[in-house]
Structure 1
Amino acid sequence: MKITDIRATTVAIPLDAPLRHANGGHWGRFVRTIIEVDTDEGLTGLGEMRGAGAATEDAFLALRHYLIGHDPFDLEQMRFMLLNPTAALYGNRTHLHAAMEFACLDLMGKYLGLPVSKLLGGPVRDRIEFGSYLFFRYANEEGNGEIETPEQLADYAGRMRDEHGFHTHKLKGGVFAPGHELECYNAVGERFPQDGLRYDPNSVLSVDESIRFAREIDDLNNDYLEDPTWGLNGMRQVRERTSIPMATNTVVVNFEQLATNVRDPAVDVILLDTVFWGGMRPCLKAAGVCETFQLSVAMHSSGELGIQLATMLHLGAVIPALPFAIDSHYHHLLDDVIVGGKMQYRDGALDVPTGPGLGVELDREKMERYADHFRKVGNYVYDRDPKRPGWFPLIPNERWAQPS
């Protein structure tokens, strides 16, 4: 089997409401690039990553120079073609490689009639538990969906619990001063004392603020504290002076950083991301290292649609130790580009696809509809907030109380 073409299409999928984070926001949509990899066997493999319109599409089309005529089964050759040291030095292709790896594994599974989980070693579970991903939100165009107060946040967590069965709740913080976010986090913990909790302010707190916040929430049912401050040294200082496990998807996202953390621990829980780490296979390798050195793993969400979500499900199926519900923005999406529409949670979990390859198929009509939507609304700048023109975050954030 040989690759004959690579195609890329950028789509914009509407969100229930704009999601705010420490550096800006997701302004009412996720922008993703869908790739299709055609072969001489008549099979097409699917991949996905965060999109930026023509720039991302052109980056994928440039890979034709490397990959036309390549056998999708030869994944190690592709890794060295795309991720060799020179390529890493002059132009990081990690995310591009991840999307291509998704498509190649999808092709392999379709060719063999096997789900990707079988290609990765075989599933040890057939359902993956998820948590609610809580954001402070602006109201949508209809004037609904705002989340700013403790009551609004706890009410939204309750609605997600009722609708989807989530029993873990992660707050994306760093939007307001830590004192206000502490009240909001406590409100969720008090409303659902048996549920797992996580706080992720996107590394904007100082070391001292991080320690103070951790000590204030020590009596709650915390899974971990995710990236409260920046850098391995900052995380190490927080870890040494608090009792809550530290987690990261920012400072341990490759094997060099993982080795450093093994040698001099700063993080207890490594959040794997099938795009950030460069694919499913690197994540599985990283999980093996973590198993060897008795580090826990969980899974990070990078705003995925159904194609990347399927990669997360197949990966979660084959990792022996996955003690935490995994993250996903998926419940904030209003639609998807896969056949059948959005996957449906049942008791807070999604079934691992059992069809050949990734087990999802592209709904071409929806892809074209949301590609047209992208052409109308365009991209957005992740680290800017249109409602606060000229604003940018100060890091570390040294404001414990909200200014009057």
Structure 2
Amino acid sequence: MNLTVADVRLTPVLVADPPLLNTQGVHQPYTPRLVVEVETADGVTGVGETYGDTTYLELARPFAERLRGRSVSDLNGLFTLADEVAVDAARVSARVDGGGLRGVRTADKLRLSVVSAFEVACLDALGKTLGLPVHALLGGKVRDAVDYSAYLFYRWADHPDGVPAEKDDWGAALDPAGIVTQARLLTERYGFTSYKLKGGVFPPEQEVVAVRALAAAFPGRPLRLDPNGAWSVETSVAVARELGDVLEYLEDPALGTPAMAEVAERTGVPLATNMCVTTFQEVPEAFTTGAVQVVLSDHHYWGGLRNTLQLAALCRTFGVAISMHSNTHLGISLTAMTHVAATVPGLRHACDTHYPWQTEDVLTARVPIEGGRVRVPDAPGLGVTLDPERLARLHRRWLDDDGTLRDRDDAAAMRATDPAWTTPTVPRW
């Protein structure tokens, strides 16, 4: 058994994305992702996935070169390796990430997002070699299936005229009736039993009506609202009081830990975040001030599956709940999320996933979501198989792109419809 890394392959792809709206703009017709393959000297290949924007790819390339010759079992060494790779801090300026809407972006977060893909690929290869599923390598599953929530978006029926894009059958959702119809379709197709609305698109009073409509259509079902920090403290408090009887939690209503702490102090509605707590350094302030009651982890920018377990332990220590945030991911990342979620004790809230919105994948088969749940694979490694033809097709799209779509920019996509659009200043309301 030879666990030495003999080869590493990086494949950037562009994946079809529908015109989903958020406070920063609209999703581009294609979104970048990066697929990582790590092959051992015995010919065993593990796969991972992360963001595919240019800055991630530029860091992943030298990282991949340094990984060759090391063991796939040397997972702690991945972080040391990442520290050795230079990052142009000027290019990774501290700003709100318009694509991921995940708070301030820094060079350290960039490194962790890249490490996460390599860690998952190494765990996949290690599991295949040992004949063990990834969840066993993480300590063993405590549940056989993981609950996911329907991710509702205000959206257009199609991307703007003249913009090359793939078609889907979801239709527009620009008012409460449209959101309820979308929720019903997601329920029919995937069996979801909880619902999250991406807010910050329309004035808060309109989004309150939409949540009320969901509560009427799905009585007793858990509901969430996420305006991505688009509201002031006063607006956040007002909405929390208005919807306190139906919300499971309110996600990042205001931007930053101090603002969230003030909202939490003035309302009894639990607050969740994937913006003000995205690194271990941000945990003490958020937890000691009571700013958040639910942390939405994302193994990509926390640095992988094992760091996610460390975060979960911290949350248990402070009595803070944990669930999982979603980005526009493929089946590799959804499966990795499912493995780590299966090992987290006390996972009380369904995880987020964009996956129903992605009509394309790089796997031989789509990850099934049934009854709002994903079964935890017990096959060795992640339990998924990469499809070389599908991967090559999506990579060809990336190669053919002139560079316009290789960095996600929701504001730029919005300007295809509104040339005067600029990234809104927060708070918007």
Normalising by structure 2, what TM-score? Answer: 0.88
Match 1:247 to one of 272, 277, 291: 272
* 2:349 equivalent among 320, 324, 327: 324
For residues 291 and 78 of structure 2, the distance between their equivalents in structure 1, rounded to whole angstroms, comes to: 33
Q: Which of 308, 314, 329 is 2:333 aligned to?
A: 308
Q: CA deviation at 1:388?
A: 2.2
The equivalences for 1:211-222 within 5 A come to 211-220=237-246, 222=247
Distance 1:77 1:88 in 2: 22
Residue 20 (structure 2) aligns with: 19
Query: Would you say the 8 A contact 1:46–1:307 is kept in 2?
Result: yes
Deviations 1:260-280 (A, max 9, x none): 223322100011101011101
The CA deviation at 1:373 is 2.6
One-letter amino acid of the structure 2 residue matched with residue 209 of structure 1 = T
Residue identity opposite 2:236 in structure 1:
S
**Bigger mean CA offset, 348-357 vs 136-145:** 136-145
Q: 1:186/1:84 Cα in 2 relative to 1: closer, same or farther (>3 Å)?
A: farther
1:68-87 equivalence runs, <5 A: 68-83=68-83
Aligned-residue offset at 1:66: 2.5
Measured after TM superposition, the shift of residue 87 of structure 1 is 6.6
Q: Does 1:388 align with 2:418?
A: yes
- The answer to whether 1:368 aligns with 2:392 is yes
Distance 1:397 1:189 in 2: 25
Equivalent AA in structure 1 for residue 177 of structure 2: E
Cα drift, residue 282 of structure 1: 0.5
When structure 1 is superposed on structure 2, of 152-161 and 87-96 the one drifting more is 87-96
Change beyond 3 A, Cα 1:84–1:143: closer
* 1: CA distance, partners of 2:309 / 2:420: 41
Q: Which amino acid aligns with 1:368?
A: A
Query: More deviation in 26-35 or 40-49?
Result: 26-35
Q: How many Å apart are 1:9 and its aligned residue?
A: 1.1
Correspondence for 2:63: 63
Q: Which moved more, 1:276-285 or 1:366-375?
A: 366-375
Q: Aligned partners of 1:314, 1:150: CA distance in 2, in Å?
A: 35
Deviations 1:279-324 (A, max 9, x none): 0111100001111221100110011101111110001110011001
The equivalences for 1:354-365 within 5 A come to 354-365=378-389
CA distance in structure 1 between the aligned counterparts of 2:57 and 2:77, rounded to whole angstroms = 23
Check the 8 A contact 1:9/1:57 in 2, yes or no: no
Secondary structure of the structure 1 residue equivalent to 2:78: helix
Matches within 5 A, 1:315-354: 315-340=340-365, 342-354=366-378
- Post-superposition Cα deviations, 1:69-112, rounded to whole Å, max 9, x if no partner, equal 11111111222221479879784311111111111111110110
One of 188, 213, 216 as aligned partner of 1:162: 188
CA distance in 2, matches of 1:256, 1:63: 24
The amino acid that maps onto 2:383 is: G
Work out the CA distance in 2 between the residues paired with 1:181 and 1:115.
42
Aligned to 1:110: 128
Partner of 1:194, secondary structure, is coil
Counterpart residue number, 1:45: 46
Q: Quick one: which of 287, 302, 307 aligns to 1:262?
A: 287
Residue 143 of structure 1 and its aligned partner are, at CA, apart by 8.9
Check 1:119–1:7 CA distance in 2 against 1; reply closer, same or farther (3 A cut).
same
Q: Secondary structure at the match of 1:5?
A: strand
Q: 1:50 to 1:383 in 2, by over 3 A?
A: farther
CA change 1:26–1:184 in 2 (3 A) is: same
TM-score (ref. length: structure 1):
0.93
For 2:103, the equivalent position in structure 1 comes to none
Q: Distance in 2 between matches of 1:52 and 1:290?
A: 30
- 1:81-160 matches, within 5 Å, as 81-83=81-83, 91-92=107-108, 93-140=111-158, 145-160=171-186
Q: Which residue is 2:34 aligned to?
A: 33
**Alpha-carbon distance between aligned partners in 2 of 1:84 and 1:238, rounded to the nearest angstrom:** 40
Q: Please say if residues 6 and 60 of structure 1, whose CA atoms lie closer than 8 Å, have aligned partners that are also in contact.
A: no
Distance 1:89 1:333 in 2: 32
Asked if the contact 2:59/2:87 (under 8 Å) is kept, the reply is no
> Which consecutive unaligned segments of at least 5 residues does structure 2 have?
91-106, 160-166
Output the amino acid matched with 2:356.
H
1:22 deviates by 0.9
2:202 is aligned with what amino acid?
A: F
* Matched residue count: 394
* Residue number in structure 2 paired with 1:225: 250
C-alpha deviation, 1:65, in angstroms? 4.0
Residue 335 of structure 1 deviates from its aligned partner by: 2.3
Q: Which deviates further from its counterpart, 106-115 or 17-26?
A: 17-26
Task: Note the aligned Cα RMSD (angstroms).
Answer: 2.0
Q: 1:211 and 1:133 mapped to 2: Cα distance? A: 23
Within 2, Cα distance between the matches of 1:368 and 1:214? 47
| Alignment correspondent of 2:4 | 2
Relative to structure 2, which stretch is displaced further, 67-76 or 141-150?
141-150
| Residue deviations 1:118-146 (CA, integer Å, cap 9, x gap) | 00000010101111000011112669611
Any stretches of 5+ residues in structure 1 without a counterpart? 399-404
Partner residue in 2 for 1:201: 227
* C-alpha contact (below 8 Å) 1:28/1:140 kept by paired residues: no
Identical-residue share of aligned pairs (%): 36
Whether the aligned pair in 1 keeps the contact of 2:157 and 2:172 (CA below 8 Å) is yes
Shift in CA distance, 3/330, structure 1 to aligned 2, threshold 3 Å: same
